[in-house]
Structure 1
């Protein structure tokens, strides 16, 4: 325990970030941490794995668990995995952040809130994307509607994009956590490996660069991850389900794949703070997203 911690009681606990797809959960986590940890895109269900993000403040350490969006779309093995991952994150957590989009309420929002209520976890409602509202007064009836749906510890309008009310949110979270010594080093940001983030950064480019459906038919596996002479040597495989998907990702004369790999490499160099040599191939694995065993082999496990 540091001298700063010894001067007063500190708090520490796990906080699950829960909500439907595309409400800005990962953007919120990145904003709070002050660094890009979770990948983002405008497409729903960008997040596929729960990610631990550690925010250490003088008065407490917040252990955020970013989760896939709880959704009702699709019933294949991957969709079932994503919902299980989100619901499992509620087990053993000290607090939930229920993230919604300002002025929107859907059946998937209701499903996410029902899961939190069933877990009997204290919850703060985070109303995101308020920067998009031209009339802030319209938010008041929406907040009243939310307050009638559940007994929240607090309802806090925020903008994860520009940082509005983020400090207020953090302070509210810390006061709701149990008194406890820090569980991680003060300078630690996550418990995930660099190998994991290499996978995610490639997948982020797939989400951002290709059509609406294609990214959901892809997965990424790291075949080699080694450090040589101060440089990371990374070999990655992009798995798709059909030959025509492979052709689209590679593009004419391989230009599309080169652009994807180049941008992913630049993002890796920012995160890892060292040079990266990245090689990427594309292979076909028929119906991997509908096969439980194939999902397990690709790392989709609880």
Structure 2
């Protein structure tokens, strides 16, 4: 078994926390974690690691779940993976995370008229994996995808923050385990990505085309003055959303005409995704796409924007 504390010690994490770290130390930790993820993935592929070697699972019984009320079965293997981030349930140990999860289940059942907690599996900020409705039962996490996808959610993160290293490591191991055990296809995709690309594995080679598409500026579409904080660049993540029929404050908006409309711009924080606004670029399709994807022109424009962001240094080449 690989204790998480041993991993952190090997990477040089001080016992007192990270408040005194400089940028060099943070970069070294990030590189160390990437190396760790790669090693774990290779060992999993070779069948030398089981689930207990890279994450700890807390069963429904152990976190105190109410009786399961969902019964619709999922096919195997699933072709689609959906990863959510549930804000506002801060926890850092098993006892508190279990209570937060019981609260979430009660909310989904009693307030949202669901049959159970909405997700198949959940990853706590404590680094543990909590069983939701399980691998084989249909969740209610994403309208239009529940019957064809595996839904996994991060929870327990402090409001305004992204998941920590322990949670990220467990998520990586959990997805690899799902593929290894046949719950998820090795060629799985995530919704609204061009040409079935896997957003956890960024393209190794940029498409041979012009660096950036034509972007319709704020002044051209008549934007009002913005008062938003600066974004930390280069961003580590790209969040792809849709406006569901409303105009939203996203860094970039993509229309069905294939046009890219400047939102708050490359260097300014949007308000698109709690916990990621300071480290992620947000690209939003204008319209509602819960059942069908945007058209090819819009999808192509979004992919061009991502490649443009990498080329201009606004987005790291190994983005998620």
Q: TM-score range by the shorter chain?
A: under 0.3
Determine which structure has greater relative contact order: mean sequence separation of CA pairs < 8 Å that are 6+ residues apart, divided by chain length.
1
